[in-house]
Structure 1
Amino acid sequence: MLVTKLCTKNVFNINSGKIIPNVIKRSYTSNLDSSDTVDLAYASYESTSDYENSSRPPLVILHGLLGSKNNWNSMSKAIHRTTGRKVISVDARNHGDSRHASQHTYIHMAHDIMKLLKKLELSKISILGHSMGGRTAMVLSLLCPDLISSMIVVDISPVKTSPQIFSMANLFDAMSSVSITSGIAMSKARKLADEQLKAITSDVNLRNFLITNLIQTNTGAYTWRVNLPVLKDNFQSHISCFPSNLRGLQYCGPTLFIGGSLSDYIGKNDLREIQEYFPLAELIFIEGAGHWVHSQKPEKFLEVVCKFLEEK
């Protein structure tokens, strides 16, 4: 796929004394084809009431690493209820109910979303992504800016990587080492998984988040629904960093970056560099929130998101 983006930057002409547009052309070529994409599982939140704002593009929500669409169930309902917009929450490849694949890059994940939008016959959406999902949203907006009406990126940056993100590699190993006897009740299995994960993290909220991925197969055996081997193999080279080959592309639509004041995933001085990709980007921080802004400060997060969606 060839993407050509025309970006306008204002230039002051010293002879005329006027500001004139300077158009810069930047192209990106992708070698992916349909066989490289994955059919994604999703949940749709909509109603038939007169309140539903069907004239506005639907909001597509992309979860973070080791998450799923289920993590966004309550927030998706609240956003739909408040704005009247249809909300579509999506499982990324190798997560939730979506198919597993050997590749896990932001380019692949952006193409997965393109495929889903084509299937749903959606030509324009707003998009919200947290962490890994935020970077997927950014890549999609850079590759297909005409698809995106507006974008919200939650606690992740295209220009900086938090040192904390590299601790995720330890979580892959810890989850892989969890051993649970087949045939026991899910409640007991969750308790056993929690006991074993305590060795890697004392954060009970993080452990509970990880355990949402525990499932029981038809044979009674317990396993993780996330594709841990592939996520681990792709983490260092692809997941932990933003694609460098997209530099020079821009998405020039309304963009909001939301950071947690207690998180270091977005720096308070990152906005200038962020605007090299997203010229209209705004950056706000929600006080008292860490990386999981939407679950730690849900009421404030909902207020900020809905205000942006109503205005943009």
Structure 2
Amino acid sequence: MKFLTQSFLKLRKLQHRQLCNEARLEPVKLAYATYENTLPVQDIHQNPLVVMHGLFGSKSNWNSLCKVFQQKTKPSRKIIALDARNHGDSPHDPHHSYELLALDLKNFFDSVGIEKASVLGHSMGGRTAMLFALKYPELVEKLIVVDISPISTSPDISSMPIYMRALNSLKIPSNIPLSRARLAADLQLVEGGITDKNLRAFLLTNLIQTQNGSFNWRVNIPALLMNLDNIKRFPYEKGKVFDGPTLFIGGSSSDYIKKEDIPGIKNIFPNSAVQYIEGAGHWLHSEKPTEFLQLSVEFLNRPNTS
């Protein structure tokens, strides 16, 4: 594992260029997985559902849920799960902001020929989805935002740099089975102060073994750490609204969608509803998948009203 120092030096040289030249930055080509009905469908065109994960996530985290979405949406929708830049199988890039994440999504729509889709995003993916809907409302049929708000800043994430440095400083011997590597990494993360077992398990889904037997991260830790300020804020432009059907789903035990945010949410998304899943935290789709799927599928299957 490389330490952050060398990467920081390289990224600092690029930071000024990022601030000055962001308008000229190019989108990255996103990796994706599709879930669709292999049986013939008679004369029914249903817009696909595009799913975007949160920080440190990947499309693979949504595999089981995407299969259920494909089976339960009526008529059946094609489901597309994406990897954001600097995550999963998508390219690494020193630049990371919601403006760029939305640009990546627009590029994906253009490249695969999507004229309109429903969009679902969790946390970082939810803010990407919101910004995309505000910028390109003609491309979005329905919007589902999972445990994130456009109004308040994110809850305190001051511990995030500690987590990232702990990940980047792990020392794992090469040429051992991945299961042993994850066990060794888990023990080191505990020593590094990450005591939440579920959080460690989630983070370790990003540990991969390279062809030469060494281990690396699928997430671009130095770039995410350098761009934490961009990840914390939602770049809302005053006066913009998305008036398509929108559902916010929050966890009752999470503080990412505060009840005092709801009036402000409805100013930006006037055709929105906010629902909470009792006893769920920030990762409500994995903590309470049945309740999450019920709310999401009911919303997706509901006929649009003009």
TM-score scaled by structure 1? 0.86
AA in 2 matched with 1:205? N
**1:96 matched to which residue of 2?**
88
**1:17 matched to which residue of 2?**
none
8 Å Cα contact 2:209/2:215 also seen in 1: yes
**2:290 matched to which residue of 1?**
299
Go from structure 1 to structure 2 and tell me whether the alpha carbon gap of 1:104 and 1:77 turns closer, same or farther (over 3 Å shift): same
Q: Percent identity?
A: 49
**2:214 matched to which residue of 1?**
221
How far has the Cα of 1:160 moved from its partner? 1.0
SS in 1 for 2:185: helix
Go from structure 1 to structure 2 and tell me whether the alpha carbon gap of 1:31 and 1:147 turns closer, same or farther (over 3 Å shift): farther
SS in 2 for 1:269: helix
AA in 2 matched with 1:284? Q
How far has the Cα of 1:87 moved from its partner? 0.4
**2:152 matched to which residue of 1?**
160
Please, which of 255, 269, 274 is the counterpart of residue 265 of structure 2? Answer: 274
Structure with the largest fraction of strand: 1
SS in 1 for 2:54: coil
AA in 1 matched with 2:168? S
1:236-275 to 2 correspondences below 5 Å: 237-244=229-236, 246-275=237-266
The structure with more radius of gyration: 1
8 Å Cα contact 2:154/2:233 also seen in 1: no
Matched, 1:194 2:186: yes
1:11-50 to 2 correspondences below 5 Å: 32-33=23-24, 36-50=26-40
Go from structure 1 to structure 2 and tell me whether the alpha carbon gap of 1:51 and 1:77 turns closer, same or farther (over 3 Å shift): farther
Aligned counterparts of 1:179 and 1:247: Cα–Cα separation in 2:
47
AA in 2 matched with 1:287? E
AA in 2 matched with 1:204? K
SS in 2 for 1:309: helix
CA deviation digits over 1:289-311, x for unaligned, max 9?
00001000000100000000011
Runs (4+) of structure 1 exceeding 6 A deviation are none
AA in 2 matched with 1:142? L
Structure with the largest fraction of helix: 2
How far has the Cα of 1:174 moved from its partner? 1.1
**Over aligned residue pairs, what C-alpha RMSD do you find?**
1.6
Go from structure 1 to structure 2 and tell me whether the alpha carbon gap of 1:163 and 1:308 turns closer, same or farther (over 3 Å shift): same
8 Å Cα contact 2:246/2:272 also seen in 1: yes
AA in 1 matched with 2:251? G
SS in 1 for 2:276: strand
Aligned counterparts of 1:269 and 1:214: Cα–Cα separation in 2:
38
Aligned counterparts of 1:68 and 1:32: Cα–Cα separation in 2:
27
How far has the Cα of 1:54 moved from its partner? 4.9
Aligned counterparts of 2:189 and 2:43: Cα–Cα separation in 1:
44
Go from structure 1 to structure 2 and tell me whether the alpha carbon gap of 1:51 and 1:263 turns closer, same or farther (over 3 Å shift): farther
Aligned counterparts of 1:143 and 1:53: Cα–Cα separation in 2:
31
8 Å Cα contact 1:271/1:281 also seen in 2: no
**2:12 matched to which residue of 1?**
none
**2:299 matched to which residue of 1?**
308
How many residues align structurally? Answer: 280
AA in 2 matched with 1:144? Y
Unaligned runs of at least 5 residues, structure 2: 1-20
Higher relative contact order (CA 8 A, sep 6+): 2
TM-score scaled by structure 2? 0.88
Matched, 1:105 2:97: yes
